[in-house]
């Protein structure tokens, strides 16, 4: 057992496992052509597509490419997207190594290193009017990846990238935050004249008036959560207050390690292995009682994966597509408890679980063994 494994919703082949059936146990992903030799480090998922990133900066996609969210794809309407393929941003040249990835429902954003190895080139691809900036003229979105002009500002580089249902947020190395996409719920700060009549911002706009330098941003469906450096830990939530996302947020969470967000909840793993969370809980999305000490977390649309210090991958929340494993209650819930999706106890000696991910009812586990990767 060595490689990237996936389970959950798969109606468009977004798991990359060679077919379009949902699965409730981890299945190894497949690649068209040679699989990457280096380790998978990030997984980003839209509604019907997935982007994965390797340690060396390679990006690969699976699922439905028809929106343009998977980069340049010849004959996208006819292609079989059930296996991962290399993502192409430029047809004529290599754009550089990718450092960050994020997906809205039907667009993707990738940050690429420039000639000086700084993360300054931001490409957006997909449906332009609801998430991906589009500088082309005409009423129809471009299916070609778009290199954003004059962004980030000179002298800065991208430190973090996050996306919600239809909005994108970028954190720069100076602590400033920019965003674009759907801002109707103030998830991109208070709107001014830069938004169109539908509340959509089509170019990166600075979120002004922030009371601290931001270290990380995460996005819920219509909400953005910003947090300061771990020594500071101040928290600011922008956007809709549904599920108490703003009103229930703590003022600060110092000594945090990892922050993640579902469509309706925010999850902050502290350095002591304890998980702080608030938001939606009707399907058991918030942490169940008695969780062991954790090393990692990843929140999907309505479920969570967690990696324990004992080497288990746990999942809980809404698992109607098998994304929380086969054992669920009514409506596919895993509520007030967790399932174990994978465990080092059952893997060959020398195995390591190096990454977990969660998307739109999809779950991801990367396993390496004795220094071997995919």
pLDDT at 252 over 80: yes
**Strand ranges across the sheet with 303-308:** 294-299, 303-308, 312-318, 333-343
Instruction: Note the pLDDT of residue 76.
Output: 84
Distance between first and last Cα of the chain: 10
Contact 222, 237 (CB under 8 A): no
| pLDDT score, position 100 | 98
Percent of the chain clearing pLDDT 90 (strictly above): 88
Beta carbons within 8 Å of 154's beta carbon, 6+ residues apart = none
Q: What does the radius of gyration of the chain's CA atoms come to, in whole angstroms?
A: 19
Rounded CA separation 349/365 (Å): 17
* pLDDT score for 134: 52
The phi, psi pair for 169, rounded to 5°, reads -130, 135
Report pLDDT for 93.
84
Query: Can you tell me the mean pLDDT for 281-309?
Result: 98
Q: Work out the burial of residue 90: count CB atoms within 10 Å of its CB; fewer than 13 is exposed, 13-18 middle, 19 or more buried.
A: middle
Is the model's pLDDT at 135 over the cut of 50?
no
Once rounded to an integer, what is the mean pLDDT over residues 363-369? Answer: 95
| Burial class, 35, CB count within 10 angstroms (exposed 0-12 / middle 13-18 / buried 19+) | middle
Contacts of 363 (CB under 8 A, 6+ apart): 6, 7, 8, 26, 300, 303, 305, 315, 323, 324, 341, 356, 357
Tell me how far apart the alpha carbons of residues 104 and 46 are, in angstroms, rounded to a whole number: 5
The length of the chain is: 374
Distance CA 186, CA 205 (A): 13
Residue-level pLDDT at 369: 84
Q: Reduced to 3 states, what is the DSSP secondary structure of residue 367?
A: strand
pLDDT at 142 over 70: no
What is the mean predicted confidence (pLDDT) over 191-199?
87
Give the whole-angstrom CA distance, residue 79 versus residue 51: 16
**Predicted pLDDT at 374:** 37
Q: How far apart are CA 154 and CA 368, in angstroms?
A: 39
Which pLDDT belongs to residue 143? 72
Question: Comparing 8-12, 191-195, 267-271, 339-343, which segment has the lowest mean pLDDT?
Answer: 191-195
Residue 236 has pLDDT above 50, yes or no: yes
Whose CA is closest to 109, among 174, 179, 54?
Answer: 179
Mean pLDDT, the chain, as a whole number? 93
**Residue 1, Cα to own-chain centre: how many angstroms?**
25
Sign of torsion over alpha carbons 223, 224, 230, 233: negative
| Residues 205-222: tens digit of each pLDDT | 999 999 999 999 999 999
Residues 6+ apart with CB under 8 A from 374: 2, 3, 4, 31, 35, 36, 37, 39, 40
């Amino acid at each position: 057992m060595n490689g990237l494994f996936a389970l959950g919703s798969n109606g468009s082949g977004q798991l990359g496992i060679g077919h379009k059936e949902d699965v409730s146990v981890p299945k190894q992903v497949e690649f068209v052509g040679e699989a990457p030799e280096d380790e998978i480090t990030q997984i980003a998922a839209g509604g019907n597509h997935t982007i994965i990133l390797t340690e060396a900066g390679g990006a690969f996609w699976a699922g439905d490419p028809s929106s343009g969210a998977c980069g340049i794809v010849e004959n996208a309407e006819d292609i079989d997207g059930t296996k991962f393929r290399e993502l192409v941003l430029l047809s004529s040249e290599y754009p550089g190594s990718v450092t960050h990835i994020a997906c809205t429902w039907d667009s993707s954003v990738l940050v690429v290193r420039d000639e000086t190895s700084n993360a300054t080139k931001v490409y957006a691809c997909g449906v332009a009017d609801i998430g991906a900036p589009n500088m082309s003229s005409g009423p129809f979105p471009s299916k070609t990846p778009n290199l954003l002009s004059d962004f980030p500002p000179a002298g800065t580089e991208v430190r973090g990238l996050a996306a919600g249902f239809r909005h994108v947020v970028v954190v720069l190395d100076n602590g400033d935050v920019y965003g674009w996409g759907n801002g109707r719920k103030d998830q991109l700060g208070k709107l001014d004249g830069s938004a169109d009549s539908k509340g959509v911002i089509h170019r990166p706009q600075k979120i002004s008036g922030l009371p601290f330098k931001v270290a990380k941003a995460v996005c819920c469906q219509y909400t953005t959560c910003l947090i300061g450096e771990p020594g500071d830990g101040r928290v600011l939530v922008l956007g809709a207050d549904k599920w108490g996302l703003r009103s229930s947020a703590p003022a600060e969470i110092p000594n945090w390690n990892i922050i993640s967000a579902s469509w309706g909840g925010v999850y902050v793993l502290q350095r002591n292995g304890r998980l702080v969370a608030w938001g939606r809980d009707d399907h058991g999305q918030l942490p169940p009682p008695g969780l062991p000490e954790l090393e990692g977390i990843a929140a999907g649309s309505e479920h969570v994966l967690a990696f324990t210090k004992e080497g288990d991958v746990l999942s809980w929340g809404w698992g109607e597509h098998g994304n929380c494993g086969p054992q669920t209650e009514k409506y596919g819930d895993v509520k007030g408890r967790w399932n174990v999706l994978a465990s080092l106890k059952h893997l060959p000696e020398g195995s390591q679980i190096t990454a977990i991910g969660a998307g739109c009812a999809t779950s991801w586990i990367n396993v390496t063994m004795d220094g071997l990767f995919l």
